[in-house]
Structure 1
Amino acid sequence: MSFAQKAVVADSIDAEEAFGKKQVPQVPLEQCEHIDTCSIAKFAIVTKDGKQGIYDLEKHENVTEIDFDVADLFRRYVSEEGIEVFYFYVERGIERGTIGVVGENNQTVSVWMDNPEYVAKLDECTTIDSAIAQKCHDVLSEGLKSLDGTYGQVAVLDAQTGRLKAWIALEKDGEDYVEGKLLKQACSPRVLTLVGITPRLADINGSLKDKMDLCGGVYNIGDSISIRDHNWRSGGYGVMTCRQALTHKSNVAMFKILLVNRGDDAFCIWKKITSDEKQTNAMELAAVFNSLYQKNIITFPTLQADSVTEATIDRIKPLGRKYLQEVLIGLNKGDGIQASYAPKKVELAGIYGNYQGKDIENGEHKLAEMSFVGLFPAKKPRYALALFLNRPNEPIHDSKDLANGIVNNLVEWLTKHVQ
């Protein structure tokens, strides 16, 4: 955040507003890991357990709790009445703000707002289609209820221009679902694993007709590490063509392709692309998928008026993109693993993800994550659609429920929608 931006936030604090003296837990300096004296030596930023706080070196007291992710002194101000105020820029979670500290007595006042690094705003985006946005809101709300979701997003892009038509977030509030923040780091990118690996088949001079052994669903790579397919407990798959293996979302097949393509680096890459860390959002998923499927240019909406940013992709060969298109369509037709719940009247190129969460040391679980990203109609895409929802870690619901509860409803409605 620039000094000018910080100053604007600071100026929003009314000089006449009553500053308050709050009870602040006192932490001795010797218990702090770092003590960084500010440009004005009266104050220091102290760090404990990875968090930061404001400390008065003259009065030997904590001015704030040590619970900020970032803290930085950026301005000293003296009012007409001679009151000296020091302004600090702070970040905590998905918010950022300014804290004013009265020099005489360390009374404080603060102003907080969403941090644009973590939360998106659509106020200046002029490409939103209100009818599409309302439909997304209604369908997502019903889907979250039926699937016991806690938070979800859905985004729709114009597949030809890359411009954003809708981006909705809802979260659970008691028994209802209300508008949520458009968190930029709200879901994992793991649903794109197949999208990232399939084009590599062309890089290793492979063909979708080639056959590979899927090892009964378990591929041991050494050091007690194995790659497993979703059906490994029931015996997994045997020998399949690459087309069959990929349209059945075989992890073993994907890893074997990656192994030939990247050698010793394969497992590190695999861990990264199958990470469950929340690194992205529905809008980015739709934009990345749309670009990789169609062209050598990746297009992102800027959320400013109708502008987009573009960057050239030179990693995917034409044959690799052809393989990708065939696999993403094949997932949803014929003997593809998603064919039984694909929409009946629209040819879909898309993929579902269904992450079950994992145990945490204290016996709790991370939230499970259900997701979808795709284009339709597959041959001449009109829309790119991405959505995900978080839910308690229970195996009751699967991708079929997500398809029937949300995806097919939106796909069929959007196909008929005239812009």
Structure 2
Amino acid sequence: METPKSFAFLSLMILCTGFYSCISKPNSNKEQASMIDSTLQIKATSILEHKLSEINALSGQVIIMEVQTGHIKALIGLTRKDSANYQPCNNFSTQKPTGLMNPISVLAALETGKVKLNDVVDTGNGIYSYKGGAIKDHNWSRGGYGEITIKQGLAVSSNIATYKTINKALGSNTSTYFDMLAKMSYGKPDSITGISNLKPYVVTDSSITWHCIGYNQLITPIQVLTLYNAIANNGKMVQPQLYKDSTIVINPQIASIANIDSLKQALQYVITDGLGKTAYSDKVAIAGIQGTTLLTTNEDTTKNEYAAEFCGYFPADNPKYSIIVSINKTGLPVSGGLMAGDIFRQIAEYIINLK
């Protein structure tokens, strides 16, 4: 995809926040009361490390939460220290753009009442040109998707479909768009006991065009997971917690039940009929979304850095766990579905087999 005008500034912000920096671990007193499941932590670490090695990735992160309580059952960060070995790195406060923004923007559009998931949008030949540049879908070189429904647009990660959906619902009303994200508590929480230096998400440029598909912003994976966990929890957003405590509600209802239900059906459709098929399991119904984001550009494009992500929950009809997988790698090929989605599926099947 072509990058936004503010990309140089965005890249600088990423570098300044220390993309691979580690943070301090929780203090030893509170570690005794941690909600981390040590067996799950070890297994998920092994699954992540194997995939990172297989695709020669720079680093990766997996966070597993209980949907209703917000209890964090596994919190894993790995980064490559040399050409072969991966070491733990608790970089959970590191912010970056996200490839998982499309469903969140679509939910905001649904809340206006001006669009429905079965509405048709024309994605054309996969390249949408406008005064400030161009948005490209991943299959632009193959002629694009043409006319598809908004639901199908999510399934195939069409950035053009998402932008046109937002444009139909809100036009160029920037303030309304960001007000709706705030109403959904997007970017929360800005502090979690045990995770140092967590900050509010950052808007680097207020252009809806790029923000609605994940650029022009800096956000952590755990903040993205918190929003998807709320979708799984029928709209109730709870605070992620590393330590046993009373469940804290951040937002009792991020969006209407009807629109949450519609989006949940779409997220399951992504797995059964879309680019999230790699996360499909015949052992448990999964709902979620894949995303791939360009993080930094180089003169030698083989050295471009990407984030491959997958976020979702399971069982789809009665969610118990939500998971986010985020991988950073250099060069192509890169795919949120094929790479991060495969990790998600393996972890989900491991958890279900324990039940």
Class of the TM-score when normalised by the shorter of the 2 chains:
0.7 to 0.9
1:363 and 1:386, CA in 2 relative to 1: closer, same or farther beyond 3 A?
closer
SS in structure 1 at match of 2:171: helix
User: Is 1:387 equivalent to 2:295 in the alignment?
Assistant: no
1:147 and 1:363, CA in 2 relative to 1: closer, same or farther beyond 3 A?
closer
1:364 and 1:346, CA in 2 relative to 1: closer, same or farther beyond 3 A?
closer
Residue identity matched to 1:351: I
SS in structure 1 at match of 2:117: coil
Q: Percent identity?
A: 23
Check conservation: 2:292, 2:334, Cα contact below 8 A.
no
1:223-242 to structure 2, matched below 5 A, reads 223-242=131-150
Q: Report the alpha carbon displacement of residue 216 of structure 1 after superposing the two structures with TM.
A: 2.1
1:171 and 1:224, CA in 2 relative to 1: closer, same or farther beyond 3 A?
closer
2:112 maps to which of 167, 190, 203: 203
1:290 maps to which of 205, 226, 229: 229
Query: 2-side partners of 1:364 and 1:399: how far apart?
Result: 18
Residue identity matched to 2:45: H
> Hey, which of these two has a bigger chunk of strand by percent?
1
In structure 1, the residue matched to 2:349 is 412
1:186-225 to structure 2, matched below 5 A, reads 186-220=95-129, 222-225=130-133
Residue identity matched to 1:154: V
Query: 2-side partners of 1:381 and 1:195: how far apart?
Result: 18
1:156 maps to which of 52, 59, 64: 64
The alignment's C-alpha RMSD in Å is: 2.8
1:376 maps to which of 290, 314, 324: 314
SS in structure 2 at match of 1:252: helix
SS in structure 2 at match of 1:190: coil
Instruction: Report which structure shows greater RCO (CA 8 Å, sep ≥6).
Output: 2
Query: 1-side partners of 2:267 and 2:230: how far apart?
Result: 14
Flag as ranges the 4+ runs of structure 1 deviating above 6 A. Answer: 361-364
Q: Report the alpha carbon displacement of residue 225 of structure 1 after superposing the two structures with TM.
A: 2.1
Residue identity matched to 1:293: A
1:116-195 to structure 2, matched below 5 A, reads 121=26, 123=28, 124=30, 126-174=34-82, 175-195=84-104
In structure 1, the residue matched to 2:203 is none
Residue identity matched to 1:376: F
Query: With structure 2 as the length reference, what TM-score do the two structures score?
Result: 0.75
User: Is 1:323 equivalent to 2:262 in the alignment?
Assistant: yes
Check conservation: 2:35, 2:243, Cα contact below 8 A.
no
Q: Report the alpha carbon displacement of residue 128 of structure 1 after superposing the two structures with TM.
A: 1.1
1:252 and 1:93, CA in 2 relative to 1: closer, same or farther beyond 3 A?
closer
Q: Report the alpha carbon displacement of residue 126 of structure 1 after superposing the two structures with TM.
A: 2.2
Check conservation: 2:286, 2:315, Cα contact below 8 A.
yes
Query: 2-side partners of 1:202 and 1:276: how far apart?
Result: 22
Check conservation: 2:72, 2:241, Cα contact below 8 A.
no
Query: 2-side partners of 1:158 and 1:287: how far apart?
Result: 11
User: Which stretch of the first structure deviates more once superposed, 304-313 or 169-178?
Assistant: 304-313
**After superposition, what is the alpha-carbon deviation per residue over 1:78-130, rounded to whole angstroms, capped at 9, x for unaligned?**
xxxxxxxxxxxxxx977xxxxxxxxxxxxxxxxxxx99xx6563752521111
1:257 and 1:313, CA in 2 relative to 1: closer, same or farther beyond 3 A?
farther
Q: Which has the larger radius of gyration?
A: 1
Query: 2-side partners of 1:272 and 1:367: how far apart?
Result: 19
**After superposition, what is the alpha-carbon deviation per residue over 1:138-161, rounded to whole angstroms, capped at 9, x for unaligned?**
111111111111221111111122
1:170 and 1:307, CA in 2 relative to 1: closer, same or farther beyond 3 A?
farther
In structure 1, the residue matched to 2:220 is 280
Q: Report the alpha carbon displacement of residue 360 of structure 1 after superposing the two structures with TM.
A: 4.2
Q: Report the alpha carbon displacement of residue 413 of structure 1 after superposing the two structures with TM.
A: 0.4
Check conservation: 2:136, 2:159, Cα contact below 8 A.
yes
Query: 1-side partners of 2:40 and 2:277: how far apart?
Result: 26
**After superposition, what is the alpha-carbon deviation per residue over 1:264-320, rounded to whole angstroms, capped at 9, x for unaligned?**
135813423412765213x33322211133333311224344344322255522222
Query: 2-side partners of 1:133 and 1:361: how far apart?
Result: 39
1:242-253 to structure 2, matched below 5 A, reads 242-253=150-161
Check conservation: 1:122, 1:303, Cα contact below 8 A.
no
User: Is 1:271 equivalent to 2:210 in the alignment?
Assistant: yes
SS in structure 1 at match of 2:327: strand
Residue identity matched to 2:153: A
Check conservation: 1:140, 1:154, Cα contact below 8 A.
yes
Q: Report the alpha carbon displacement of residue 348 of structure 1 after superposing the two structures with TM.
A: 0.9
- Could you list the runs of 5+ residues in structure 1 that have no partner in the other structure? 1-91, 95-113
Check conservation: 2:150, 2:165, Cα contact below 8 A.
no
1:73-112 to structure 2, matched below 5 A, reads none
Query: 2-side partners of 1:154 and 1:311: how far apart?
Result: 22
Query: With structure 1 as the length reference, what TM-score do the two structures score?
Result: 0.65
